[in-house]
Structure formats: structure tokens, C-alpha cells
A and B are shown apart, each in its own frame.
Chain A
Amino acid sequence: MGLFDKFKSLLFGKGDVSEGTQDEKPVASKQEPVASKQEEPVSAKHEAPVTKAEPADMKVEQKPIIQKPKEEKPVADKITVGHVHMSGCTGCLVSLADNYEGLLTILDKYADLVYCLTLADVRHIPEMDVALVEGSVCLNDECSMEEILETRERAKIVVALGGCACYGNTTRFCRGGQQNQPQHEAFLPIGDLIKVDVYIPACAPTPQQIRNVCLMAYLLLKGNDEQKALATAYLTPLMNLAAAGTEACGCDLMTEVINQGLCCGCGSCAAACTVRAITMQYGRPQVERDLCIKCGACYAQCPRSFFSFDVCGQYESITNLIGEVMKP
């Protein structure tokens, strides 16, 4: 629920978000007159605490990034997104880029990419609305440790992008036949170090899933009430995944689905598995443990891991909406 509070603060302090990377002073001076105009007729007493509290908050948050000269934004109300690279193979970033022209649409209309090793020339992690974190954190690397903590401090929403960030994936000991290495204990899913808000499991996460999360984050932060409700409903299961922990395995199908009497034998898990570790036998998944890379895709894709009638029941309108907003 802490996340919701964050969203709320984002929404109420709208100027604070969209102009977060702009000059701080105009924002503060803009807000003061608005506040005083509203408050004056009622009572002069209310004015003082309100105006005092808000600028103070904003100054603290925005100081580190104010110095930069500002580029002109074609669309005022974009969210800011960053890609933070921990110990991963860059496959997740490639997946983001694999939205092809869709990525351009997202960057044109909905999100500014403020931090990204290969696509944005920014050295230090800036303030941002959404941080997409790829890869696990190497404890033996001080820089990684600092960066992941900084990411949590400076991003409103932290998204664990891909199997490594969510569950460790191939950076940990997960594959039969893999050599034992002393470093396995050194690679931690980011959720072991910081609080993560949203999970996008799978290796690699799909371009479409990343796109959907970016669009929903945009709707959540900038949309009208109806859109916010939709985005909240959409993101809730992914937030629940983040809250559920940092361990995943094909075994989850057994412990959390079949042994819970939930499996309906649809085969989604087998289709979702990137390493073809799952075959369907007599209507149940058969997981080849030696192939499983523990990316979490099978369980997250299962219609009985989570299923929202509110969201999936509107599949037609949501699909149309996504199609509509992704038009260049």
C-alpha cells in the first residue's frame, strides 16, 4: 500500500512530477499563488502550513538533478523512465528495444528515457518515475550495491525487469550440469536488497509485457480516474508477484498450482517456458529440472497463478486501447 501513497503524492503534486527535471523555482512560485488563491477566501490561516510544507518537500527531492539545462519537451505530461543495468545480459534491454517503432511512440508520447546505459548519455542515476532494473546485484561489486540503493531512493516505482532482477535466474545456481562456483551466493535478486514495486518475470521479458507496464504506469501517473483504476487493476498482480518473494522455479507449478488443486491443464506454462523445460503429459506440466533457469515465467503466465476478471474481462477494450495509443 506504500506504493499507492506514492502514486497519490505523485498525482496530487503533478507539477512536481512532470517538471521534476526542470528548474525548481518556477514550480514553487507557480504553486504558491494557486494555493493562496484557493485558500484566501476561506481562511488565511490555512495558507501558511500548506505553502510551507510543499516547497520544502520538493526541494529535498529535487536538489541532485536541478543543475542540468533543460531540453524542450514536445509533450508536457510524460513520465520519466530509466533502465538500470545490474548483472544481466542486456537481453531485457534488447527486449525493450524490440518494441521497434512502438518504442519510439512510447518515447515520443508517454515516457522520457532519462537513464539507460546504451541509449541515454547519463552517467549517474537521476530522479525518475519508473526505474526498470535489469539483472541481479553482485555483492562483490561496490558500485552495483550503491547503484541499486540509489535507484530505490531516486525512483518512485522500481520495476524488476526480467528473471535475474526478480529471481536471480541464470546468475544463480539454477541449471543442472552447471559448474559449481563460489560466486553463486554473491548474486542477489534486487528484491533481496531493496523494496521492489512491480515484477516483470521471464527470460527475456517480452517486449509486449514491458510496453504494457510502461503504458499502464503512464495511465496511473497521468491518466484520468477511470484510467488510473484500470492501471491499478492491471498492475496489482505484478505488484503481488513482487511482494511474494525472490524465489521462483518450475516447481512453483507443482507447489502453488497443482498441489493447490488449481491446475486446469491449459498448457500456458509450457508455452511460456523459454528453455522448453516444460512438456504437458496427461494434461499436467512435466518440468525438466535440469533445464529450468528459474525465470518465473511459467508460474506468472498460469491463468491460475493470478487471474483478474476485471482486467481480462475487458480484454477487447484494453487491447483496442493499447492499439490506439501505440499509433505513431
Chain B
Amino acid sequence: MEYLGQYKAVYKAKAGCEDILSKAQDGGIVTAMFAYALEAGIIDGAIVAGPGDEAYKPEPMIATTVEELFAARGTKYSISPNMALIKEATRSYGLDKIGIVGTPCQIQAVRKAQLYPIGMRDVPDKIALALGIFCMENFPYQGLYQMVEDHCATKIDNVTKMDIGKGKFSVYTERGVNAQIPLKVTHKYEQPGCHVCLDYVANMADISTGSVGTPDGWSTVFVRSAAGEAAFNKAVDAGWIIAESMDGVKPGLELVTKLATEKITKNQKYIEHRAHAEYEALKPLRNPYI
């Protein structure tokens, strides 16, 4: 329970709109939430992982229309420094109510920016909706490229979807699943910063979502804050999101809890290991958590 953070409610949910679902990673929750929030005026714009100059290389972008939002649909398993735009969104874009989607570490960065706005002038009160996505690890672009081109023997330009689930990294082309490799093979490409992360389901987001726990085509959604609850309920009422109870859903919260526990205990152990207590000659690596 504690590994899943505080939440007001948990749902099995998906977008109510076919357009979103057709290109969505799972339930299309992030796109649907932001699209509704844009339409309803809950946010003026959203910082999302848009398409970059290379295939599947995400580039943070500020979407102020539903069309722009749609261009960013689907998961890109590489680093998109969404926080880099958070101040710019309040400046050049003049946004007063910002939506931002991010991995757990990025949502932590959002909250730190709100409570310790050391270099974030006038940003803290402008963050209206922070959506978190479940995250086990992330890959630098070169690592992802290697996984796809080398291990999966697939041209990255031809890839239509990538997915991580059931212990496998899968690459889809227009002919369907083209290649699958066990997740074990991908571990060496993970960015090191992920190994000290103590958050799996974005505990500090307003709403966090991910595929784990629900059947294909659906997402698990944790509604956490008051702002998140209000926005989510309105989105459901407006038909942008279809939400059902998690009761009796197949893998369900049990699997989410299991993976969260695995990730966090493994990383806690790694943080201890970084202290290098057993080697006098080695300087300990810094522990950021206080």
C-alpha cells in the first residue's frame, strides 16, 4: 500500500474517444485527460513528449490544442525532459494553468519545483494538472536504438509501436509484432539514474496511470489529489474517459503492488550499495534523499 502512495480512488479506465484509442499506448488516459482539460479550460496547455527529429526520440513540447496533443500520443521509451519547458510555458506561451505529464521522477521534480522554486519564478501556482505514468526504468536514446535495431533487428523508422509488458520488450511494425526480447536483455541500457528511484506509480502526481494491472486496451488509474479527483470525475461525466471499478479485474492491484515493491526494494538495496560501506578505498556515491 505504501509503495502505491496516497490515492483517493483507483479505476480501470480508457479513453471514450476512438481517435485517441487508435494510436494510444494502452487506455489513452493521458491524451484523453489533457484533451478534456484543454476543452474544459482546466489547463491552457500541456507539456507532453512530442515527436522528435528522429523516430521514437521524444522531444518535450507544449500542446495548446487537441491536434497538437494527438501528435504526441503513445509511449516513447526514452528520456523527454518535460520539466525543461515548465518555465518557458509560463513565459513565451503565457500559460497560467499548465498540464504536465511525466515519469515519477519528473513528477517529483514538479513537486520540488512547487515547494522549492529556487529557479522557478512564478511557476509553483501555475501547475494545474500533473499526470504521472508508471515507470520501471527509462532508456537513453542510443540505448533504445540499440535495443530496436540490434537486438530486435528492426529498422527504428519502421516501428509503429513499442511496448513493455509481461516481462518482454516488444516492437511492432505495420505487420504486427515484429520482435520480442526478454526485459533482462534491456537492463544494461537503462539510465543509471533510474536505479536510485523509489517511486513506481508516480505517488506525487494528481493522477497516475499505466498499463499494469488491467487488461489490454485499458489503463490502471490512481486518482490522488483534490485537483486530480475533480478533473477526473468531470472527464468521466463528459464522456472523455470510461472508468470502471478495479474490483475483480484480472491481474489488478496485486500485480501493481508486486512490481512496485520489487522496484523499490531493489533500488533501496542499490542505494545502500552505493555507500560502498564494504570498501574503505571507495568514496560513497551521493544519496539525494533526506
- Give residues in A with beta carbon < 8 Å to B: 95, 200-202, 204-209, 212, 234, 236-238, 240, 256, 260-268, 270-274, 280, 282-283, 297-298, 300-301, 303-309, 311-313, 315-316, 318-319
Contact = CB atoms under 8 A, between A and B. Distances in A.
A95 B121 CA distance: 9
B205 to A, nearest CB: 11
Contacts of A311: 115
Interface string B101-117: 01101101101111111
B81 A304 contact: no
Counting from the closest, the 6 A-B pairs by CB-CB distance are: A272-B119, A267-B81, A283-B79, A267-B84, A297-B119, A265-B79
B264 to A, nearest CB: 12
Interface string B246-263: 000000000000000000
Given A301-B116, A306-B288, A268 B109 contact: yes
B167 interface: no
Given A271-B119, A282-B142, A283-B191, A264 B105 contact: yes
Interface stretch (B9-17, B21-29, B152-160, B194-202): B194-202
B115 A234 contact: yes
30 contacts: A208-B120, A208-B123, A209-B116, A212-B116, A212-B117, A236-B290, A237-B290, A260-B285, A261-B193, A261-B285, A262-B286, A265-B80, A265-B193, A266-B105, A267-B106, A268-B112, A271-B88, A272-B87, A274-B119, A282-B79, A283-B140, A297-B119, A301-B112, A301-B113, A304-B105, A307-B108, A307-B112, A312-B115, A315-B114, A319-B114
Given A265-B80, A271-B87, 17 more contacts: A95-B121, A205-B118, A208-B122, A237-B116, A261-B196, A264-B197, A265-B193, A266-B84, A268-B83, A268-B109, A301-B113, A303-B108, A304-B105, A312-B204, A316-B225, A318-B115, A319-B115
**Which of B116, B141, B191 has the most chain A CB within a 10 Å cutoff?**
B116
B118 A301 contact: yes
Contacts, number: 177
B119 to A, nearest CB: 3
Interface string B77-103: 011111111111000000000000011
A300 B119 contact: yes
A270 B289 contact: no
Contacts of B225: 316
A260 B194 CA distance: 12
A184 B261 CA distance: 53
A297 to B, nearest CB: 3
Contacts of B142: 282
A267 B83 contact: yes
B288 A298 contact: no
A267 B123 CA distance: 15
Contact of B124 (A208, A282, A301, A303): A208
B84 A280 contact: yes
Nearest to A237: B290
A300 B182 CA distance: 38
A264 B194 contact: yes
B119 A267 contact: no
B119 A283 contact: no
Contacts of B185: none
Interface string B173-214: 000000000000000000111111110000110000000000
Contacts of A307: 108, 112, 288-290
Nearest to B274: A261
B74 interface: no
A270 B109 CA distance: 12
B116 A300 contact: yes
Contact of B117 (A208, A305, A308): A208
Contacts of A318: 115
Contacts of B106: 264, 266-267
A70 B112 CA distance: 41
A230 to B, nearest CB: 11
A265 B81 contact: yes
B193 A270 contact: no
Nearest to B195: A261
B108 A272 contact: no
Contacts of B87: 271-272
Nearest to B79: A283
A297 B289 CA distance: 18
A267 B58 CA distance: 13
Contacts of A313: 203-204
B124 to A, nearest CB: 5
Contacts of A303: 105, 108-109, 112, 288
A264 B104 CA distance: 10
B60 interface: yes
Nearest to B206: A316
B91 to A, nearest CB: 10
B107 to A, nearest CB: 9
A297 B123 CA distance: 14
B11 to A, nearest CB: 20
Interface string B212-247: 000000000000011000000000000000000000
B75 interface: no
Given A209-B118, A304-B288, A307-B108, A280 B81 contact: yes
